[in-house]
């Protein structure tokens, strides 16, 4: 795992956006795994700016989103499909038939989850998976105690995650209690992972993920086993890392050919 510590949220977002842009430029038909929530919004804004400036072409890109709420219609203001439309898809030249989401309205959820996994396999797997981390260490909606070999499936949200997400809804009782999410095993199958974490509220989870044991109690810790994972942090999110100075030294002394 490569740890990249930046001075500010803006610098961390810029680093993550440049990594994603480099992936698309290197492989125009890249398969991207995308995340939602407040953390990646700045990254999507930068990618859209790159596109507007003629520096990034999404016409061949294929996307798979990590998760979607169960019961929300696709155009619901808090549906993740609508989130992605607002923050990225409506601002770049990506074709609608190359965008994939879990279907929170699927009549047969287990069958739909198997189909989602099959669709990822058909395109050769995810080239770069963008991730955030929950304050309890979840990735996607793989809550603590999730199987580290899990695949796409329905999950019940913990009270802590419901509380964290309540700020996006007019009333806390409107937050769905179930989601369809890629599993931990699905995420680990990605050829490369990129996690962005900012703010002091993520510091404890980040430290456990990077320097603690690999455990289902902190699902993100499995990324220690991924062969190509970059973790981009701002200073507050990196505050509890014991080896922070070492990670800074490594990044600052990378050979030129390793830089984005």
CATH code, domain with 137: 3.40.50.1360
Instruction: Find the domain containing 154 and state its range.
Output: 2-254
184: left (phi over 0), alpha (psi -120 to 50) or beta: alpha
pLDDT at res. 259: 75
For residue 143, indicate whether it is catalytic.
Answer: yes
Closest C-alpha among 189, 254, 256 to residue 4: 254
- Indicate if the alpha-carbon torsion angle 103, 126, 223, 14 is positive or negative: negative
15, 51, 67, 226: which one is catalytic? 67
Q: Are 130 and 37 in contact (CB under 8 A)?
A: no
Tokens for 70, please give them: 């169960």
**Gap between the Cα atoms of 115 and 120, Å rounded:** 9
pLDDT at res. 247: 97
The half-sphere exposure of 108 on its side-chain side, counting CA atoms within 13 A, is 5
Domain membership flag for residue 126: yes
15, 68, 117, 143: which one is catalytic? 143
H-helix or E-strand spanning residue 180: strand 178-181
Task: For 181-234, give the DSSP string.
Answer: E--HHHHHTSS-EEEEE-SGGGHHHHHHHHHS--BTTBGGGGGGG-SSEEEEEE
The number of domains in the chain is 1
What number of helices (H) and strands (E) belong to the chain?
A: 8, 10
Torsion, Cα of 75, 113, 128, 34 (10° steps): 20
What DSSP designation does 126 have?
Answer: -
**Prediction pTM value:** 0.95
Domain membership flag for residue 111: yes
For residue 204, indicate whether it is catalytic.
Answer: no
Domain membership flag for residue 141: yes
Q: What is the pLDDT of residues 99-116, one digit of tens each?
A: 999 999 999 999 999 999
For residue 76, indicate whether it is catalytic.
Answer: no
Residues sharing a CB contact under 8 Å with residue 52, sequence separation 6 or more, in sequence order: 91
Domain membership flag for residue 37: yes
Q: What angle do CA 163, 166, 170 make, to 5 degrees?
A: 150
Q: Where do we find the tokens 């050829």?
A: 191
pLDDT at res. 163: 86
112, 138, 226, 234: which one is catalytic? 138
Domain membership flag for residue 260: no
pLDDT at res. 258: 80
15, 117, 127, 136: which one is catalytic? 136
Domain membership flag for residue 259: no
Residues in the chain: 260
Torsion, Cα of 251, 257, 259, 260 (10° steps): -170
Per-residue pLDDT 10s for the chain (260 aa) are 999 999 999 999 999 999 999 999 999 999 999 999 899 999 999 999 999 999 999 999 999 999 999 999 988 999 999 999 999 999 999 999 999 999 999 999 999 999 999 999 999 999 999 999 999 999 999 999 999 999 999 999 888 888 888 888 888 888 999 999 999 999 999 999 999 999 999 999 999 999 999 999 999 999 999 999 999 999 999 999 999 999 999 999 989 888 77
**Gap between the Cα atoms of 144 and 175, Å rounded:** 19
pLDDT at res. 167: 86
């Amino acid at each position: 795992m490569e740890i990249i510590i930046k001075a500010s949220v803006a610098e961390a977002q810029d680093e993550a956006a440049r990594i994603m842009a480099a992936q698309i430029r290197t492989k125009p038909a890249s398969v991207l795994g995308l995340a939602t929530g407040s953390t990646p919004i700045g990254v999507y804004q930068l990618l859209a700016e790159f596109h507007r400036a003629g520096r990034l072409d999404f016409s061949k890109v294929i996307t798979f989103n990590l998760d979607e709420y169960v019961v929300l219609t696709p155009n619901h203001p808090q549906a993740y499909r609508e989130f992605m439309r607002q923050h990225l898809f409506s601002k770049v030249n990506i074709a609608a038939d190359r965008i994939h989401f879990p279907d929170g309205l699927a009549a047969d959820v287990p069958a739909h989850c198997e189909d989602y996994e099959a669709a990822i396999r058909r395109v050769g797997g995810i080239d770069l998976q963008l991730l955030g981390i929950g304050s309890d260490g979840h990735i996607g909606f793989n809550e603590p105690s999730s199987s580290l070999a899990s695949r796409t499936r329905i999950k019940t949200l913990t009270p802590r995650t419901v509380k964290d997400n309540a700020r996006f809804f007019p009333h806390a009782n409107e937050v769905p209690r179930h989601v369809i999410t890629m599993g931990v095993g699905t995420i680990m199958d990605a050829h490369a992972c990129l996690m962005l974490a900012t703010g002091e509220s993520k510091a404890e989870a980040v430290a456990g993920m990077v320097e603690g044991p690999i455990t289902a109690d902190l699902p993100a810790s499995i990324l220690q086993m991924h062969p190509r994972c970059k973790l981009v942090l701002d200073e507050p999110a990196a505050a509890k890392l014991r080896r922070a100075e070492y990670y800074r030294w490594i990044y600052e002394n990378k050979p030129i050919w390793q830089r984005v």
